[in-house]
Chains A and B, each alone.
Chain A
Amino acid sequence: MEEHEHEALPPAVPPVSRRDFLFRLGLVLNTVAAAFVGIPVLGYIASSMFKGKAQQAWVALGNLDSFPTGQTRLASYRNPFTTPWDGATADVPCWVRRKPDGDFQVFAINCTHLGCPVRWFPQSGLFMCPCHGGVYYEDGSRASGPPPRGLYQYEFRVRGGHLEVRGGETPNLSEAV
């Protein structure tokens, strides 16, 4: 453990001087420069936080005929906003249920507990989660286990014989699609 004192400047240097002014000016200029670099950097990084809703769009899930009445089938849509190097990650799976009356329900694949992919079992009419055993009924409502709510559902519409969903966002508790 040693102590260290800054050496005093030789007395010949006048206390306030052009050097002093230059030093202060330098500080100000560099602060301005730092702001010009720093603010864009923050904006660049933070821009991802606000992409949300703007990236949602209607995307086709498939022909109406590919969803027989009374069945629940796995479908997937291509994320509306992708980069060329996104690969398979842009193919988002979801469960499409065609109710006996012909109406649809489109469920996100993600368990509402911690996001694991749920699986559909037609024999028992249940969605089961492989992670912690969350279970949902065929209409997506919560049946049992740790999930705090039923499955997330996508908005959908039928256009020209096609089922379309509003995709582009992975649902979680803070944004349930």
Chain B
Amino acid sequence: MNRLRALGKWFDDRLALGRLYDHTLGHRIPLSSASAWYVFGSATLLCLIIQLVTGICLALVYVPAPDQAYASIEYLDYVQPLGWYLRALHYWGSNFMVALVTIHLIQVFLFGAYKYPRELTWMVGSGLFLATLGMAFTGQTIRFDQDAYWGVEIIVSILGRLPLVGEYATHLLQGGPIVGSETLSRFFALHVFVIPGLLIGLLVVHIRLVLVLGISEYPEAGKPLDKETYAEDYEATVARSGIRLMPEGGGKDLVFSALILTAIILCAAFIGPKIPNGPADPSLIHTVPRPDFYFLSLFAAFALMPPYLEGFVIVYLMPLAVVLLFAVPFLSRGAERHPSRRPGAVVLVVLVGVSLVTLAYEGVLSPWSPEMDAWSGQPVQPQFVEGRSPLEHVGATLLQAKQCRNCHALDGKGGKRGPDLAGVAMRLTPDQLVRQVLQGGGNMPAYGKHLAPHEVSALVAFLETLHPANAAPARNSAQPSGGVAGQPDKP
């Protein structure tokens, strides 16, 4: 035993580990800072470590070149021993990391922990948050499947809308005028060198700030923060009831991190890696690109916002949102930290949270996307054609053949882009139906050029039958006869 101690001392004399410990893991924090709420930062760090380790392993096999990237991912999944598992860990690690860094940010925001003297800690943390999102996006891109390819095309289209610099920005990102090998190399370099370097650099500063400024006390309602006395009070608290970050303060971090690790392992082992959805071959155009879940809300926002807003959002709103994120400590200057005294902050979090979740939910359903094969794959249900006249049957056939069903559902079956047509006869009179079909309007194209007059009559005759049996279809009250489309009114 004495030998061992002597050996330890020999190293300590040279490395000064004891002193290092005193200033880092052993530094004292207020008892209230060891709150069980303060576990998300350390858990994010755990994810980062998992990402680094698994990422380096994946880089041993993955080939960042368009002609082989997809094959190398399949190789990882099916040939390389445990390749699927490391890919799964990397995938789930990234999902958890994005989730945890977001929760960490929300928690710090709600607890007012970004207030004096920790403004810089917040700003560096915001940088870490954005860097994490950057890792997520570049990561899903270098999977280089169809989603990735079209995801880049979408980003490029967004950049292309920037005034003046649009062309340069798109070329800079693509590494040239089209998405190709240089694009993939760029995303690869960003994913494995640039952003991780930035992330680790910011992390060092972040941790340095935590060590220098200490960990904020658990907020107390009615105990406003006083910049004059803050430093003194903090030191007094630490002197009175301080505990060491490790081991006393960090137990909850270790336990929580272990839970997260278990969750990642279970997801990786039982759900597995994200399977790439087909090679990035632009000539396979039968694809419906979808981003990974963290960008679903953004994806949905772009689908839902009115087109005239898009330019404004891209050029002003998105950069403004980033600036606002960084400026939080300077915009919210109140002395109260406890959320119960900052209703505005709580409302803001709830509002942003609900919007993001709603948007993401919509993003999963994507009701704005036509169902591109509904016209051939979703026939008109029997109840809509039973007992109908020949003319109406022709109309039903046309409804399929002219791809109407890609956007229009019939009783929930088919595209959701336009209104469901079951019951359309209750909303529109025959004349209105004819006009809508011929001229389009709203989000509907005009079919005038591709429907002969007799086809219009047949189609409208069928649409006229789409009303519940016990309810009368809409009629033009100025035309008591009801005015049947395609037939001149009898005098």
A133 and B280 CA atoms in complex are apart in Å by: 22
Residues from 305 to 334 in B contacting A, C-beta threshold 8 Å: 307, 310
> How many A-B Cβ pairs are below 8 Å?
210
Given contacts A1-B235, A172-B166, contact A55 B176 (CB under 8 A): yes
Inter-chain contact A117/B282, CB cutoff 8 Å: yes
Residues from 141 to 194 in B contacting A, C-beta threshold 8 Å: 149-150, 153-154, 156-162, 166-168, 170-172, 174-184
Residue of A nearest to B152 (CB): A115
Residues from chain A with Cβ under 8 Å of B417 in the complex: 133
Residues from chain A with Cβ under 8 Å of B281 in the complex: 87-89, 91
Inter-chain contact A115/B153, CB cutoff 8 Å: yes
Inter-chain contact A132/B285, CB cutoff 8 Å: no
A133 and B307 CA atoms in complex are apart in Å by: 12
Interface residue B224 (Cβ < 8 Å from any Cβ of A): no
A1 and B293 CA atoms in complex are apart in Å by: 41
Residue of B nearest to A91 (CB): B283
Residue of B nearest to A177 (CB): B177
Residues from 116 to 136 in A contacting B, C-beta threshold 8 Å: 116-119, 121, 123-126, 128-133, 135-136
Inter-chain contact B157/A52, CB cutoff 8 Å: no
Interface residue A64 (Cβ < 8 Å from any Cβ of B): no
Given contacts A86-B66, A88-B282, A89-B181, contact A130 B288 (CB under 8 A): yes
| Stretch among A24-32, A143-151, A154-162 lining the B interface | A143-151
Residues from 10 to 66 in A contacting B, C-beta threshold 8 Å: 45-46, 48-52, 55-56
Inter-chain contact A143/B282, CB cutoff 8 Å: no
| Stretch among B50-58, B263-271, B445-453, B461-469 lining the A interface | B445-453
A135 and B282 CA atoms in complex are apart in Å by: 20
Inter-chain contact A174/B150, CB cutoff 8 Å: no
Interface residue B287 (Cβ < 8 Å from any Cβ of A): yes
A147 and B307 CA atoms in complex are apart in Å by: 7
Q: Nearest Cβ in chain B — how far from A134, in angstroms?
A: 9
Q: Nearest Cβ in chain A — how far from B29, in angstroms?
A: 12
Residues from chain B with Cβ under 8 Å of A168 in the complex: 177-178
A109 and B212 CA atoms in complex are apart in Å by: 55
Interface residue B231 (Cβ < 8 Å from any Cβ of A): yes
Interface residue A164 (Cβ < 8 Å from any Cβ of B): no
Interface residue B93 (Cβ < 8 Å from any Cβ of A): no
Interface residue B403 (Cβ < 8 Å from any Cβ of A): yes
Inter-chain contact B370/A115, CB cutoff 8 Å: no
Given contacts A110-B157, A128-B372, A132-B303, contact A174 B170 (CB under 8 A): yes
Residues from chain B with Cβ under 8 Å of A85 in the complex: 65-68, 181
Residues from chain A with Cβ under 8 Å of B307 in the complex: 113, 146-148
Bitwise interface map of A from 65 to 87 toward B, beta carbon under 8 Å scored 1, else 0: 00000000010100101110111
Inter-chain contact A123/B403, CB cutoff 8 Å: yes
Interface residue B473 (Cβ < 8 Å from any Cβ of A): no
| Stretch among B124-132, B353-361, B386-394, B436-444 lining the A interface | B436-444
Candidates A2, A121, A145, A148; contact of B443 at CB < 8 Å: A145
Interface residue A104 (Cβ < 8 Å from any Cβ of B): no
Interface residue B369 (Cβ < 8 Å from any Cβ of A): yes
Interface residue B83 (Cβ < 8 Å from any Cβ of A): no
Residues from chain B with Cβ under 8 Å of A83 in the complex: 180-182
Inter-chain contact B167/A143, CB cutoff 8 Å: no
Given contacts A124-B403, A148-B307, contact A52 B154 (CB under 8 A): no
Interface residue A5 (Cβ < 8 Å from any Cβ of B): no
Interface residue B286 (Cβ < 8 Å from any Cβ of A): yes
Inter-chain contact A144/B444, CB cutoff 8 Å: yes
Bitwise interface map of B from 102 to 137 toward A, beta carbon under 8 Å scored 1, else 0: 000000000000000000000000000000000000
Given contacts A125-B449, A170-B177, contact A88 B279 (CB under 8 A): yes
A50 and B183 CA atoms in complex are apart in Å by: 15
Residues from chain A with Cβ under 8 Å of B157 in the complex: 110, 113-115, 172-173
Inter-chain contact B181/A86, CB cutoff 8 Å: yes
Inter-chain contact B179/A89, CB cutoff 8 Å: yes
Residues from chain A with Cβ under 8 Å of B427 in the complex: none
Inter-chain contact B160/A79, CB cutoff 8 Å: no
Residues from 385 to 419 in B contacting A, C-beta threshold 8 Å: 401-404, 406-407, 415, 417
Given contacts A50-B171, A117-B282, A172-B166, contact A86 B180 (CB under 8 A): yes
Interface residue B289 (Cβ < 8 Å from any Cβ of A): yes
Q: Nearest Cβ in chain B — how far from A77, in angstroms?
A: 10
Inter-chain contact B168/A119, CB cutoff 8 Å: no
Inter-chain contact B172/A86, CB cutoff 8 Å: no
Residues from chain B with Cβ under 8 Å of A56 in the complex: 177
Given contacts A172-B170, A173-B161, contact A48 B372 (CB under 8 A): no
Given contacts A52-B177, A135-B445, A143-B446, contact A115 B166 (CB under 8 A): no
Inter-chain contact B153/A110, CB cutoff 8 Å: yes
A26 and B134 CA atoms in complex are apart in Å by: 38
Q: Nearest Cβ in chain B — how far from A45, in angstroms?
A: 8
Among B166, B172, B445, find the residue whose CB has the most chain A CB atoms closer than 10 A. B445
A93 and B263 CA atoms in complex are apart in Å by: 43
Residues from chain B with Cβ under 8 Å of A89 in the complex: 66, 149, 178-181, 183-184, 280-282
In the complex, besides A52-B177, A114-B154, A118-B285, 4 extra interface pairs with C-beta distance below 8 angstroms are A86-B66, A87-B281, A119-B286, A128-B406
Could you tell me which B residues sit within 8 Å of A by CB distance?
Answer: 65-68, 149-150, 153-154, 156-162, 166-168, 170-172, 174-184, 212-214, 231, 234-235, 279-283, 285-289, 302-303, 307, 310, 368-370, 372, 375, 401-404, 406-407, 415, 417, 440-447, 449-450
Can you name 22 A-B pairs with beta carbons within 8 Å? Answer: A2-B212, A48-B171, A52-B167, A55-B176, A56-B177, A87-B68, A87-B281, A89-B178, A89-B181, A91-B283, A110-B153, A115-B156, A117-B282, A124-B447, A130-B288, A133-B415, A135-B445, A137-B449, A144-B443, A145-B443, A172-B156, A175-B160
